[in-house]
Structures are given as structure tokens and as C-alpha cells.
Amino acid sequence: MNGWVLAGTTFLASAVEMVEAATIVMAVGFTQGWRTALSGAAWALAALVAIVALFGPLLATHAAVARLEVVVGPLLVLFGIAWLRKAIWRAAGRKAMHDEGAIFARESAALATRDRRVGFATSFQGVLIEGLEVAVIVVTFAATRPREIAYSVGGALAAAIVVLGLALALRAPLSRVPENAMKTVVGLMLLSLGTFWTGEGLGLSWWAGDATLFWLIAAYAILAVLLFVPMRLRRARA
């Protein structure tokens, strides 16, 4: 497995979740003050560290004994299908685009009439839920490929730095990030990695070894285009 592919997948998957968390924290920051927003985010990060510290090593130890691929792979397949089909629906117009600007406006309006505890809870929950999704991705990748842990952790850290940098630079809703395109790529990667790992875990022999992963990405990408085009055309005619 190419470590850079792993790092790239972790980077994109983490970045998508972090953009959502950053949008919520910014909405709280602008309406209830940065102290409330950042303290909620800080407590959520502390809770995340505790959760990963408690369950991460357990997962890694288990991976050393049993082949985690057959557990992690199916999860990634399900995550991948969920992400990719949503991206296709959005691109084809069957589902509304995920609009960070709209989320920001909705959160701002709701918070204007509530007290700061709600702001804290909103920031806390946003960071905790999105952060947990990042943690699940990073920990499962790291547990399945312990030798390449630096790549998966590095991918997530790079995403954190990039999104934080963007948030600080823009100081505005992050709707400029083309989220649907990012989600399409992430869905493809998760689905392909999940298929590859589940197959390995089941003892299947992939035709081209590790290079089969690239063939899987190509196969799913072609299929996604074949599904998207008629859906889009039908939508346009309706």
C-alpha cells in the first residue's frame, strides 16, 4: 500500500469533517463571542483525546492479534457508498448542495436568541461529532496499517493545519471550499480501500496485488460517472 495514498485519503476525509466543524465554531464565535466558541471546541478536543486514548490502543492491540481488515474494510465500504452516492445525488440535482453558508446563517439566527451555554454546547457538539468521525478514520487506518501510522496521522494533521489556516484567513463561512468535489474523491477512496481491505481480510487474491487498488478506484469512478450522467440528463429534462 502506498503510504501517500493513505495520507491523501486521510487528509481529504479529515478536511471535509473539519470544514463542517469550523463552520459551526465560526457561527458561534461571531454570535456568542470567540471565548464561548473556542472553549466549547477546546473541551470537545479534550474529550476526543480521552476517547482516542482509551479506545485507540485497544483497537491497535486487537489489530495485532486478528486481521482488522475484515472489520474495518466493510465499514469503509459503507462509509464510501454513503459519501459517493450523496455526492452523485448532489451533482445530479437530486439532493440540495451542502451549503456551508446556509448552515452558518441558520446557526447564527438560532443562536441570536439563546444564551451562551447553548453556544458552548453547539460548538462542543459540532467539534466532538465531526472530530469523532476524523478519529474513526485515522485510528482505523492506523490500526490496519500500523507501519504507515505516520501517513494517516500526518494526513489528518495536515488537514487540521490547512482548515485552521483557511478559517483564520477567511474569517467567513467556508462555503468557497468545493465540498461536493472533495466528497466525491473521498467517497471513491473510502469505497476502493474498503473493497480492497475486505477482500484481503477474506483471503481473496487481488489480481495485481497492491496495484489493484488503483484499478478499483478507476472502476468505481467510471461507474459513478455512468450513474451520474443519465441521472443528470433525466433531471434536466424534467
Give min distance, CB of 70 to other proteins, in A: 8
Nearer to other proteins, 136 or 167 (CB): 136
Cell numbers at residue 32, please?
A: 456568542
Q: Please report where in the chains the cell 469503509 appears, as a residue.
A: 76
Radius of gyration of the chain (CA): 19
Q: Does residue 205 touch other proteins according to CB under 8 A?
A: yes
Cell numbers at residue 163, please?
A: 482548515
Give min distance, CB of 33 to other proteins, in A: 31
In the DSSP assignment, the letter for residue 112 is: T
Tell me the H-state helices in 66-178.
69-92, 100-111, 116-144, 149-170
Binding mask 61-100 for other proteins (x = CB under 8 A): -------------xx-xxx-xxxxxx-xx----xx-----
Give min distance, CB of 185 to other proteins, in A: 16
Distances in whole angstroms, Cα of residue 200 to Cα of each of 173, 206, 212, 213: 42, 8, 11, 11
Nearest CA to 172 among 53, 21, 23? 23
User: In this structure, which amino acid lies at residue 171?
Assistant: R
Nearer to other proteins, 65 or 96 (CB): 96
Binding mask 161-200 for other proteins (x = CB under 8 A): ------------------------------x---x--xx-
Nearer to other proteins, 145 or 183 (CB): 183
Nearer to other proteins, 40 or 80 (CB): 80
Contacts from 202-206 at CB under 8 Å and sequence distance 24+? 202/70
Give min distance, CB of 95 to other proteins, in A: 5
Residues that bind other proteins (CB under 8 A): 74-75, 77-79, 81-86, 88-89, 94-95, 191, 195, 198-199, 202-207, 216, 219-220, 223, 227, 231
